[in-house]
Amino acid sequence: MRGGCHDTLTRAHEAGFGGVFFRTVLDMSPTLDAAELQDIRDHADGLGMYLEAGLGKVNPFATPEMPELRAVGDGDILLGFRRMMEAAARIGCVELWAATTNYQVGYPGKFVWDRFRTDVTWSAQLAATRRFLQRLRPIALDLGVHINLETHEEITSFELVELVESVGPDACGIVFDTANPLQRLEHPQATADRVAPYVRQTQLKDCAITPVEGGYRFDLTPCGDGLVDFAYILSTLARNAPAVNLTIENQESRDDFPGPVPVTVLPMRDSDFVSSHADLTVPEFSAFTGLVYEHALRGSQSWSAAPPAEFGHAEAMAAVRRSLDHITEVRDRVAAVSRSLAVPA
């Protein structure tokens, strides 16, 4: 009996999911073994499931935190990315996730986001990321793959769109994580409108934002229990990216990731934090804060079937099933509305 990726695919299929999104192709095979990767592809095909994967961080100031990216290229990080892209393309994974930095668990206040590093400015990080993507561009075009940048915690959707447009949408796209942009004070509907023309992969998740001392606390919830309007999101994607796979990013089990439970607070009283969002308009920021307080007034709370310390395998599976039920219901409702609006030929 195989374990690893085969087991993940089998369990996802049995739970009613249509596919699996492995974070990187190295998670599928650390050595990029062609036979091993093809075996995983064949298993997914046999189950009738889609298979997606990614590359890693493309910000040169963050790649040292992922030494495996350099190691797979025998010390040459460009060669490492080329080898990962080639291995993925051979098994038909041509939409490839990437992101700019890591979330720095345990750091105080704004320093959980590398946007606020003091050794290098965020603008310098974005410029270095753009240069690195431009070096990857000819490889992507040659292989027929897209490097898709996630709406990650530290980067605004405005900055992502600029990156994609400057490198070229023929080589780059966007992975739409539906909750992360709220950490950048964006309204979910406005984010969807900005990124939809470039979306090639998704990571659907929801969140609650609660006013607390010093700012807003950010907590993940199952889809449908938080602030994200998935009817609007899926309708927007249906118009702009109808073929995109709808992938749910599940909350991680504490059995798999023990240790202190990270708590994210948006430090709204920190002027550097607020002023770093130069592209954010006053109307959108007002809509964002209105959404937060409207949610609070409705008495909504973060999903709390179990305290975070007790969030084990059973609780994690219950949460992702809850998300699946909500996304399935909304997807079917959006599709029904689209069909009713269609004009017969």
**pLDDT of 242 strictly over 70:** yes
Range 95-117 average pLDDT: 95
The pLDDT confidence band at residue 110, using thresholds 50, 70 and 90, is: very high
**Chain segment 282-297, per-residue pLDDT in tens:** 999 999 999 998 887 7
> Three-class SS of residue 312?
coil
Amino acid at 86: E
* Cβ neighbour number for residue 254 with a 10 Å cutoff: 19
**Chain segment 302-327, per-residue pLDDT in tens:** 444 345 667 888 888 899 999 999 99
Range 131-153 average pLDDT: 98
Higher pLDDT, 147 or 303: 147
Contact, 68 vs 26, CB < 8 A? yes
CA 112 to chain centre: 17
**Chain segment 38-89, per-residue pLDDT in tens:** 999 999 999 999 999 999 999 999 999 999 999 999 999 999 999 999 999 9
Instruction: Enumerate domains of the chain plus CATH numbers.
Output: 94-340 (3.20.20)
Contact, 153 vs 183, CB < 8 A? yes
The pLDDT confidence band at residue 342, using thresholds 50, 70 and 90, is: low
217 to 119, 230, 242, 291: CA distances (angstroms): 27, 21, 33, 14
What pLDDT, on a 0 to 100 scale, did the predictor assign at position 304? 44
Contact, 114 vs 64, CB < 8 A? no
The answer for residues whose C-beta is within 8 angstroms of residue 263's C-beta and 6 or more apart is: 217
Two structure tokens written together for 125:
């990080």
